[in-house]
């Protein structure tokens, strides 16, 4: 399964390049390969390009949406941010890095849910976050 087959996101706001594994409604693993050509690197920061932490959180959330939307109960829905808790940024992510993403749904109901996710590079955690989301009609 390709990210654009499941997610409504499109470039330049699609931050999952590859879906490695999905357990519908439960968990997902994926990747985002950063080439350095992404527009945000030019301004964040000139001379020392660094992936903005908020985009790591968004990448984890997009992968969480893959896990939710892969579940047939939610296939026609749209998961939207409801909140971000306990976000921690542990290392910088720079052009050329591959961000390994993992997310697990900790609660999933008809209208909302919670998930926990991480982004790492080479086995070292770059970001960990707990996400709250609402499930809307498209």
Cα separation, 68 vs 37, in Å, equals 30
Which is catalytic among the residues 9, 31, 44, 91? 44
**Residue of 79, 72, 64, 40 whose CA lies nearest to 119:** 64
Q: How far apart are alpha carbons 119 and 117 in whole angstroms?
A: 7
d(CA 63, CA 74): 15
Q: Assign 90 to helix, strand or coil.
A: coil
Angle 33-36-40 (CA atoms, 0-180°, nearest 5)?
A: 100
> Catalytic residue at 9?
no
Which strands form 124-137's sheet, in the order they lie side by side?
A: 18-23, 27-33, 98-108, 112-121, 124-137, 77-89
Residues designated catalytic: 44
């Amino acid at each position: 399964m390709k990210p654009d087959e499941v997610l409504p996101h499109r470039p330049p706001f699609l931050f999952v390049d590859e879906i490695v594994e999905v357990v519908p409604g439960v968990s997902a693993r994926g990747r985002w390969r950063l080439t350095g050509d992404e527009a945000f690197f030019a301004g964040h920061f000139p001379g020392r390009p660094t992936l903005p932490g908020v985009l790591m959180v968004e990448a984890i959330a997009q992968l969480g949406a893959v896990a939710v939307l892969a579940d047939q109960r939610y296939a026609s829905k749209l998961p939207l941010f409801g909140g971000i808790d306990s976000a921690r940024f542990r290392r910088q992510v720079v052009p050329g890095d591959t961000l390994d993403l993992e997310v697990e749904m900790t609660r999933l109901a008809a209208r909302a849910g919670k998930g926990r996710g991480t982004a790492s590079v080479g086995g070292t955690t770059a970001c960990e976050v707990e996400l709250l989301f609402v499930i809307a009609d498209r």
